[in-house]
C-alpha cells in the first residue's frame, strides 16, 4: 500500500481535537424542577453512559476521510528489458568442398565442423567471443538449394538454432545437390530479415497501443527493436547454381538496408580426407571467388575477410561483434490501483451508523 499525498495525513492531528471539542461543547438542557433529591438517587442510564460512542463514530469518520484524501493505492513494480539490437542471419555453405580439412586449435577437421564450433562461440560466447544473447538470429544453409534451417530467434531459443546448425551435414561429392548457390542464399536470408522486421514493427505498434490504453501513463518500450540487419555469409566456393546472381541478391539486401559480411573459408592448398579405410589426405583445388565476395560485401556496407583456419575465423567474428553493437536498457514500470474509494465508503458507513444511533437508541429531547 502506498499514499499518493502522504502529507494530507497531517490533518489527522486535528481529529482528536475535534472529538474533544464535541465532548465539551455538548451543553446540557436546563429544566426547572421543584426538587432533585429523588432524581439524584436514580443515576444515569446506560444510554447516557454510552453517548460518547457517537463522538467516537464521528472521529472515526473524519479519520477515514483524511486517509481517503491521501489517496492510498496499491501498485506492482516490474522490470522490462528493452533491447535495441541486430537481426542477424547466419548463412552457411554445406557444399561438398566444405569437407576439406582445416586447422582448429591444433587439430584437423572439416571446414564445416570448424564453422560450427566458431559460430557456436559467436552466438553463445566463449573462446574470446562475447556472444550475442540479445540479438535476433536465424540460420540458412545452402548447397545447390538454400534452406531456412531456423527462423530468427532470440535469447534462450539460440540453443535450438545451434542444435540445428550441429545437424547440418556436408553434401556428398556425387550428389546432384553438390553445387553452390550463393545468390539464392543471400536472397533467402534477406527475405527472412525483411519478414521479421515487418512482424516486429506490427507487434511493437500493438504493444504501444495496448499500453497507452491500459496505463494511460508512460509509453512502454518494446522488448526488441531492430537497430540494424545483417547477413554473415560463410563459403569456400564460387556461385555455380541458383536463380539469383550474388550481386543481384546483394542489391536486394542493400534496398532493404541489410549489410552482408562475407567470409571466405580456407585458402592456399586444401586437402580432403579419403573415405577409405586408410583415410588419406587428397589435395583439392581452391575455388574461392574472393572478388565476388568482396564486391557483395562492399556493395552493402559490410566487409570481406578470408579465414584460413579456426583462429582467423574467430578473429573475423570478433570484428563483426565490434561492427554490430547491441544496446540493452532495463526499464522499471509501476502500475497502481486506487484504493481511496474503499476508505471513503467506510467513512460514509460509519457516518450513517452514527446518524442512525443518534436518531434511535441515543435519541434525546430536546
H or E element at residue 19: helix 14-25
Check whether residue 161 and residue 303 sit in a common domain: yes
Q: What mean pLDDT is predicted for residues 290-294?
A: 94
Q: Assign 154 a pLDDT band (cuts: 50, 70, 90).
A: confident
Give the CA distances from residue 300 to residues 97, 142, 237, in Å, rounded to whole numbers and listed in that order. Answer: 27, 21, 20
Closest CA to 88 of 137, 155, 150, 157: 137
Check whether residue 342 and residue 299 sit in a common domain: no
Check whether residue 41 and residue 119 sit in a common domain: no
Specify the number of domains making up the chain. Answer: 2
Domain contains 152: yes
Check whether residue 28 and residue 157 sit in a common domain: no
Enclosing domain of residue 15 = 2-75+336-359
Q: Assign 214 a pLDDT band (cuts: 50, 70, 90).
A: very low
pLDDT in tens, 258-279: 999 999 998 655 545 555 444 5
Check whether residue 131 and residue 242 sit in a common domain: yes
Rounded-to-integer distance, Cα 306 and Cα 308, Å = 6
Check whether residue 174 and residue 256 sit in a common domain: yes
The CATH number assigned to the domain holding 253 equals: 3.40.50.410
pLDDT in tens, 28-53: 556 666 666 666 666 666 777 777 78
Check whether residue 104 and residue 242 sit in a common domain: yes
Q: Assign 144 a pLDDT band (cuts: 50, 70, 90).
A: very high
**For 317-324, which contacts have Cβ atoms below 8 Å and span 24 or more sequence positions?**
317/118, 317/119, 317/121, 317/122, 317/129, 318/128, 318/129, 320/122, 320/230, 320/232, 320/261, 321/122, 321/129, 321/130, 321/132, 323/261, 324/86, 324/88, 324/228, 324/230
Q: How far apart are the first and last CA of the chain?
A: 46
Instruction: With a cut of 60, say whether residue 123 has pLDDT above it.
Output: yes
Domain contains 365: no
Domain contains 364: no
Q: Which single residue is written with the C-alpha cell 550463393?
A: 182
- pTM beyond 0.85: the answer is no
Q: What is the pLDDT of residue 365?
A: 61
Check whether residue 100 and residue 187 sit in a common domain: yes
Amino acid at each position: 500500500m502506498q499514499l499518493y499525498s502522504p502529507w494530507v495525513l497531517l490533518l489527522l492531528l486535528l481529529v482528536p481535537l475535534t472529538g474533544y471539542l464535541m465532548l465539551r461543547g455538548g451543553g446540557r438542557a436546563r429544566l426547572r424542577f421543584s426538587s432533585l433529591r429523588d432524581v439524584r438517587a436514580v443515576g444515569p442510564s446506560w444510554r447516557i453512559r454510552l453517548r460518547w460512542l457517537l463522538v467516537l463514530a464521528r472521529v472515526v469518520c473524519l479519520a477515514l476521510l483524511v486517509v481517503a484524501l491521501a489517496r492510498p493505492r496499491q501498485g506492482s513494480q516490474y522490470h522490462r528489458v528493452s533491447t535495441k539490437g541486430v537481426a542477424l542471419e547466419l548463412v552457411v555453405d554445406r557444399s561438398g568442398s566444405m569437407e576439406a580439412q582445416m586447422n582448429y586449435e591444433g587439430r584437423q577437421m572439416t571446414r564445416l565442423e570448424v564453422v560450427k564450433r566458431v559460430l557456436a562461440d559467436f552466438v553463445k560466447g566463449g573462446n574470446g567471443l562475447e556472444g550475442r544473447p540479445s540479438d535476433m538470429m536465424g540460420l540458412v544453409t545452402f548447397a545447390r538449394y538454400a534452406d531456412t534451417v531456423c527462423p530468427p530467434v532470440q535469447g534462450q531459443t539460440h540453443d535450438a538454432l545451434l542444435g540445428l546448425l550441429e545437424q547440418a551435414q556436408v553434401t556428398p561429392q556425387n550428389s546432384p545437390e553438390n553445387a553452390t548457390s550463393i545468390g539464392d542464399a543471400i536472397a533467402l536470408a534477406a527475405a527472412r530479415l525483411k519478414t521479421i522486421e515487418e512482424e516486429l514493427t506490427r507487434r511493437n505498434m500493438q504493444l504501444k497501443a495496448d499500453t497507452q490504453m491500459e496505463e494511460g501513463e508512460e509509453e512502454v518500450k518494446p522488448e526488441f527493436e531492430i537497430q540494424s540487419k545483417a547477413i554473415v555469409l560463410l563459403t569456400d566456393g564460387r556461385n555455380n547454381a541458383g536463380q539469383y546472381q550474388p550481386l543481384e541478391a546483394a542489391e536486394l539486401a542493400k534496398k532493404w538496408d541489410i549489410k552482408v559480411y562475407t567470409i571466405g573459408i580456407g585458402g592456399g592448398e586444401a586437402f580432403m580426407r579419403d573415405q577409405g579405410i586408410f583415410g588419406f589426405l587428397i589435395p583439392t583445388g581452391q575455388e574461392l571467388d574472393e572478388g565476388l565476395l568482396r564486391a557483395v560485401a562492399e556493395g552493402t556496407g559490410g566487409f570481406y575477410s578470408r579465414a584460413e583456419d579456426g583462429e582467423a575465423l574467430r578473429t573475423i567474428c570478433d570484428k563483426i561483434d565490434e561492427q554490430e553493437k547491441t544496446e540493452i536498457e532495463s526499464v522499471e514500470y509501476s502500475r497502481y490501483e486506487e484504493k481511496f474509494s474503499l476508505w471513503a465508503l467506510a467513512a460514509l458507513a460509519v457516518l450513517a451508523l452514527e446518524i442512525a444511533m443518534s436518531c434511535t437508541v441515543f435519541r434525546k429531547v430536546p
